[in-house]
Every structure is written in C-alpha cells, then in structure tokens.
Structure 1
Amino acid sequence: MSHATATPSRRRGKAPRRERTRGQRIRRIILWTLLVVVLAAGGTGYWLYSSLNGNIDGVDLDKAIGTDRPEKLPTSGTNVLVLGSDSRAGANAKLKTGNVSGARSDTALVMHIPEGRKQATAVSIPRDTLVTRPECTKTDGTTVPSAKRVMFNSVYSLAGPACVVKTVEKMSGVRLDHFMEIDFAGFKGLVDAIGGVDVTVDQAIHDKSSGLDLAKGTHKLNGTESLAFVRTRHGIGDGSDLGRIGLQQQFMIALLSEIKKQDLLGSPTKSYKIADSLTSSLTTDSELANLKALAEFGRSLKGVDPATMETIMLPVQYDTADPNRVVAAEPQATQLWKALRTGAEIPESAKKSPATGGN
C-alpha cells in the first residue's frame, strides 16, 4: 500500500483531486505526531525519541516459545494478548494493590482485530481460571515444567509473560501475533496524563479493599481512582473476580475512547507526557518494541471504534473440587476459540458463562 500524499492536479483539462478534509488529515497523522515533533527538534528531538524508545521492553516470543505454535490467522486479522501486571515493587508499592510480593497478570485480554479492522473483540480470561501450564523457558534459561490445574495468573509470576502467551495459545489454539503488558504504575500515570476517564456506574460501589467509593452516576476518574475501579471486586456482583471483569471491560472501552478523542496534534507537550507515561511501563513483543512499530500498528487500527468493541468473558464454570476457582466451560469455550481461529462470527452460545448465569 502506498503512503504517498496525494496533491491536487493543476494540469489544464483535468479536475483537481479531492483534498482531504482537516479532520481526515488530523486522523491520518495523529499517531505520528510525537514522532514528527521529536525528529523536527534536531538533536534534542533525537534524544527525546531515543529516551522514549528506550523505555519500551521487548520480548522475543519466537525465541522464548519456539516453533511449536498455532497457525496464524487465514485472514489479515490480528490477535493481541494484553496483560495488566500487578507488581508490588517500586512505584506500585505506593498504590493500594495489596501486600502480596512478586507480580501476577491481574488482567488478561485476548484482543481479536478482524480483517478489515472495523470491529474488535476482547475476550477476558479470569485470573482464577485453572489451566494447564505448558513447559516454559524463563529469561534466565531455566526450564519450568508443565503442570495441570494451576491458577492462570500464577503463570506470569513463575515464568514471565512469554509463558503466559504460550499458555493462552495452548489452551485456545489461537496464534497470538503480539502481546502488550502495562503495570499498575504505568496505568495510573497514563490516566492522569490524559486528564482522567469518564465512567458511568448503575449502582453505588463501596469497596474498602480497593479504596473505591462511587455514588451511582457518571464520574471522571483520575489515575488512582481508575486503578481502584479496575481492581474492585468486593463492591460489585458476588464479590468474586468474575464481577470485576465487567468493570475492567467497561473501563477499557472508556479509556480507548478518551485516548482516541484527545487533541494530541494541538498539544505536543501532552503527546510526550502520554507517550512517556505509557512507554515507561510498557512491555511488548520484540516486533512492537519501538515507537515506529507501535505507531504503525496504532495507525492500522484507526478504523476500530472502541464504542463498538465487543467484550466477552471466557465462558467458565465453578470448579467442582474447589468452588473458589473456575474452569473453562464446554462446549462454549471451544466454540469461542474456534471462531477467533477461523475469523468466523462468534456464536451467541459461546458468549454465555455458566458461572455468571449468562453473559
């Protein structure tokens, strides 16, 4: 696909080409604004670009996982694993994230972006889901043996993000083209950088554990409040992790919508602040571990409207041996993963979770 900019023809006898509207031009370059600004600044700009580029940690999935992976999508669609880690170290120690040491994948979403890049689907995997962890190689070269009936969010703390990718691929048969991880501190900083996120709750939420105290209605949440919102479990539903997933999905859509409508073009300083907050706590696969690749990827998703994103929880049911844990519900889970593998429409039956009595 050519990216050359079309200019109106001035030759006699030919009608001038239609110019892009101001809105179209802004949308086309909004994700490139930061890159253009820093490069145009000469030496200082190069330093800023290098600084942001150096913020991003990258993981070589092919090297870490090996060649035993599912086939890629038969279409031009893309699957991305998005992880939110709950590290209690460093800046995160100041947040109300509990007293447990180490880190776990507190939030896990499989984002399916279909061919045509119009409507995305996000599948949440409950962190208390019992899964089979495949044999994995840690970053220090040691091997973690396979194990059955382990909590999904324990895979991250034991063997790292590449093993989480491998676990999801084994349980779903879905090839994950990319993964992105952001920790709690980065999440808080990103929300503060964009000036907060609006959410609407249908009922009051009071959760002493997360520190969230919201009346019924619409609220603009700052970074600390947003973190409490996505971690709340005792103030909503049955108090389990399953109730929290609905809030996480709601907030994800609100956050993406807010970022999309930000006037980054009119505020280079704000662009840098957002980029610095995000990249400082961002880990991706090695293919996306630089600003140019991230901008290209973001540009490819410009047609996706967060407001139309379909959010689904992996169908689960309570484990018969341990009612505090859940397992994938069949045949719904198999139907869901098959739809993502083939690019087919997800059947309604695959969107129902017995553990929640429906959707």
Structure 2
Amino acid sequence: MTDIENAEDDRRVGRRSRVLKIVGLTLAGALVLGVGAAGWAYWHLNNNIKSVDIDSALGTGRPAKAVTTPSSAASASPVPTGSLNILVLGSDSRSGKENKSLGGGDSSGARSDTAMVVHLDAGRTRATIVSIPRDTLVTRPSCPLSSGGSTSVAYQVMFNSAYSVGGPVCAVKTVESITGVRMDHYLEIDFAGFAKLVDALGGVTVTTTQDIDDDDSHLHLKKGTHHLDGKQALALARTRHGIGDGSDLGRIGLQQMLVKALLTQISTHDLLTDPAKLYEITDAVTDSLTTDTGLDSLSELIGLGQSLKGLSADAVTTVTMPNVTAPSDPNRVVAKEPAASDLWESLR
C-alpha cells in the first residue's frame, strides 16, 4: 500500500472517529436531558402534594385498624394488600383564582361539601363508597387545632361543620366518632383539581334521568346522555336545587354517578403507553390534592393506584348512609338506626 493510500485510510478512520464521538455525545446529552426531565417531573408532581399529619394530631383512642392475614401470594407481592378505609372529601376551597372562578367564593375558608368513605376490600378487587350527607346532624367531638388548644364538643350540628372549624383532622375525627371505623387515609381535592382531572381525562360521559335546571350551579341539561368537560362535571357534582326536592340527597346521587363514570373513563386510557397523558392527569390530581402523611408522596400514591388495577367500575358499590329527616329540623337528616350502624360494622 502506498503512502497516499495509507494517508487516505487514516483520514477515513479519523472522520469515523469524529462522527462516532458526535453521535455518542449527542446520545449522552439526550440521555442526561431525559433523566433530568424525568427527575424534574417527579420532583414537580411530588412537590404538588400537600399533607396533614393526622395520625400525630389524633394520637391514640381511635378505632382499631382492620387486621388482615395476608396469603403467601399476597405477602410475596410488592403491591399493597389488605382492606383500607379512606375518607375522601371534596372541598369548596375559596383560595386561588381558579377556585373562585369555579364557585369557591371569597378567600375566607372552605367547607367539605362532599364526603365519602371509600372501603377497599382485602383483595382490592371490590370497593364500597358510602356518602355522608353534609346536612347530617351529628355530635362533633373536641378536635385539636394546629394553632394549639382544641375545639369544644358540639351537639346537633351539621356534619360539614367539622371541616370548617378544625380542618382535615376534625373531619377525620368526626367521621371516626360517628362510624366507629378507622380512617386509614385521607384525601381531599378542591374545585379546580376536580375540573382539571376531568379535562385531563378528555371529559366524562354521564346519563341523567331528568332535566337539570340549576341557576346556582349554572348547569342546564336535558335528560339523556351528555359528554361533560371539567367545568360542567363540577357543576353537576354541585347541583342540588335543580333536581328532586333540592336537598343534598339528590346531589349525592349525581356525585355517585360521576364517580363511576370517571372510573370508566380512566379505564379507557392506557397510561403506561402515553407518558404525556399520564403526566397531565397526575399533575391535575396532585396540584389540588391534600392527603395524610401516609399518602403524601408520588411513590405512595402510585403504590395505592397499582393495588387498584384490578378494580373496575362494575365492582364499585355506591350507597348513602341510611338516614331519616331530623325531628328537630325538616331540612336536616340524622342517621337511621340500626341500619347505619350495621353498614359501618360491615366496613370494619
């Protein structure tokens, strides 16, 4: 081989070496950027979640936790098992421009206008959702305050006053007091979060059995099937004056219908193959979410979600706490006994 041919070979090797270096650096840069973006996304979603240390605030003297003897298969699984009771509240938070625009009022506080006890069975394949009417008259126990001190015991007061006077801690304590059931976890989502979740899912399809004409919630629907966006779905969840006798019981029926419709909508998305959609939905949920400290990280919420992958909308039973009109006030209800106690006993 001549000196000229050798020199040409050296130049080709040099060019290939430079090309490989450029490709290698480009791939390395993309990998670093990808890992960095994933790390930022995880930090952002994790940082969205707000939490309250309910266990420390309430201490001892609470109902006992459910005891489940795991099978050998369950104990070998990384996915959580065992029955759980979760108090889920929908609050009409008055903070933030989005909540105000959706009907949250001024910035003076919030109420728990939706309260559901979600019971997951030990296999996480069935669930029972019990709605507690906000107008239920209860004995509200003394609750510790984050500022120090505690609230006074109050008799024959509306159930949703617990959140107003003592926040999530008092809401949990009041539910445990009237049910005798330990709340293993607490989840709260506000107006904006609910509307964002529905929009992130591409809306939700519901079928109403009667016309809805409610100026307060700004919702006007003819009976039939409708595909609602987030703002419309929120209005449906808040509607009470445009249906039935205008009481909270009619609204609860609409809320339970929405829960099942959302479960059905979620099941239509293969989120593992659509990271962008997964991020959008997760961001919508976590941005307006408050939990207890046992669910205040993305990994803990993902663990809970993974444990529910076998749960379908058909396996979810929705009921309302048995109730009757309060003798002292025709606009309020009280627990109907012994039916209410029997229901709560079945969840322990």
TM-score band w.r.t. shorter chain: 0.7 to 0.9
- 8 Å CA contact 2:95, 2:104 repeated in 1: no
Report Cα offsets for 1:233-274 as digits up to 9, x if no partner.
Answer: 111111101111000000011112211221322321121111
- 8 Å CA contact 1:122, 1:310 repeated in 2: yes
Q: Aligned to 2:305, what secondary structure does the other structure show?
A: helix
Report Cα offsets for 1:9-66 as digits up to 9, x if no partner.
Answer: xxxxxxxxxxxxxxxxxxxxxxxxxxxxx99931222111111101001111211111
Alpha-carbon shift at residue 88 of structure 1 (Å) = 2.1
Counterpart in 2 of 1:187?
A: 194
Alpha-carbon shift at residue 169 of structure 1 (Å) = 0.6
Distance between the aligned counterparts of 1:56 and 1:195, measured in 2?
Answer: 23
Relative distance call for 1:39 and 1:209 in structure 2 (3 A) is farther
Relative distance call for 1:100 and 1:248 in structure 2 (3 A) is farther
Structure (1/2) with the larger helix percentage: 2
Q: Who wins on radius of gyration, i.e. which is larger?
A: 2
Report Cα offsets for 1:300-329 as digits up to 9, x if no partner.
Answer: 111111223111100111111111111111
* Aligned with 1:221 (options 228, 231, 239): 228
Alpha-carbon shift at residue 101 of structure 1 (Å) = 4.3
Q: Aligned to 1:265, what secondary structure does the other structure show?
A: helix
Correspondence list, 1:1-359, <5 A: 41-75=34-68, 76-90=82-96, 91-97=98-104, 101-341=108-348
Distance between the aligned counterparts of 1:59 and 1:215, measured in 2?
Answer: 41
Q: Aligned to 1:323, what secondary structure does the other structure show?
A: strand
- 8 Å CA contact 2:58, 2:144 repeated in 1: yes
Q: What TM-score, normalized by structure 1, do the two folds share?
A: 0.82
* Amino acid aligned to 1:326: V
* Amino acid aligned to 2:266: I
* Number of equivalences: 304
Report Cα offsets for 1:318-347 as digits up to 9, x if no partner.
Answer: 111111111111111111111111xxxxxx
Q: Aligned to 2:330, what secondary structure does the other structure show?
A: coil
**Runs of 5+ in structure 1 lacking a partner?**
1-37, 342-359
Alpha-carbon shift at residue 142 of structure 1 (Å) = 3.0
Q: Aligned to 2:177, what secondary structure does the other structure show?
A: helix
Alpha-carbon shift at residue 220 of structure 1 (Å) = 0.7
Identity over aligned pairs, percent: 56
Distance between the aligned counterparts of 2:32 and 2:268, measured in 1?
Answer: 24
Distance between the aligned counterparts of 1:39 and 1:209, measured in 2?
Answer: 51
Q: What TM-score, normalized by structure 2, do the two folds share?
A: 0.84
RMSD (Å), alpha carbons: 1.7
Relative distance call for 1:298 and 1:39 in structure 2 (3 A) is farther
Q: Aligned to 1:69, what secondary structure does the other structure show?
A: coil
* Amino acid aligned to 1:124: S
- 8 Å CA contact 2:128, 2:317 repeated in 1: yes
